[in-house]
């Protein structure tokens, strides 16, 4: 419950400014649509940041599994 509450609080606090992309599909799909659709005067889709929601959850999961193995 504590982890879920922490994720909810961080999402509520920073979700509006950072996009809060914990799910890679939630970040990648709109970014791809924004790039492909012919929108006039659009800015960059910031593909240099696109790797963060893809790699972040994997690295976090591996670190959490390693920490649990050490503490067990």
pLDDT at 7 over 90: no
pLDDT value at residue 30: 85
Report DSSP letters for 5-40, one per residue.
HHHHHHHHHHHHHH----SHHHHHHHHHHHHHS--T
Of the candidates 54, 62, 55, 56, which has an alpha carbon nearest to the alpha carbon of residue 26?
Answer: 54
pLDDT value at residue 67: 96
Give the tens place of pLDDT for each residue, 34-45: 999 999 999 988
pTM, rounded to two decimals: 0.60
pLDDT value at residue 17: 64
- 8 A C-beta contact, residue 38 and residue 30: no
């Amino acid at each position: 419950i504590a982890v879920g509450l922490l994720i909810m609080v961080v999402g509520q606090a920073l979700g509006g400014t950072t996009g809060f992309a914990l799910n890679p599909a939630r970040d990648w799909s709109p970014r791809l649509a924004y790039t492909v659709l012919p929108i006039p005067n659009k800015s960059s889709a910031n593909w240099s940041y696109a790797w963060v929601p893809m790699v972040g959850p994997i690295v976090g999961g591996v670190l959490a599994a390693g920490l649990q193995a050490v503490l067990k």
